[in-house]
Amino acid sequence: GKELNKSINPDEAVAYGAAVQAAVLTGSQDSAVKDVLLVDVAPLSLGIETAGGVMTKLIERNTRIPNKMSKTF
């Protein structure tokens, strides 16, 4: 596959992803989007505040969504 470009501005990444998804949904035969699968991720870790004011992460940053996690406290 192609090496991940981490230098893109987050706002531009959203616009780029939307453009690629639009091309895929309209049936574009362009080789640049032919075999592309876009997935959505949680941009930040999600968690709850536990004893002592500590955040316990339930879903890590960049986890594919939808996702389901559970933890017993």
Question: 10 with 30, same domain?
Answer: yes
| pTM reported for the whole predicted model | 0.59
Question: 32 with 56, same domain?
Answer: no
Question: 7 with 34, same domain?
Answer: yes
Average pLDDT along the chain, 73 residues, taken 10 residues at a time: 78 86 88 82 93 94 92 89
Tell me which residue of 12, 6, 1, 3 sits closest to 62, measured CA to CA.
6
Question: Residue 53: what pLDDT?
Answer: 93
Pick left, alpha or beta for residue 65 (phi over 0 → left; psi -120 to 50 → alpha; otherwise beta): beta
Question: 27 with 50, same domain?
Answer: no
Which residues have C-beta within 8 Å of that of residue 45, sequence separation ≥ 6? 55, 57, 59, 60, 61
Question: 2 with 30, same domain?
Answer: yes
* Alpha carbon 50 to chain centroid, angstroms: 26
Q: Which domain holds residue 67?
A: 40-73
Question: 48 with 33, same domain?
Answer: no
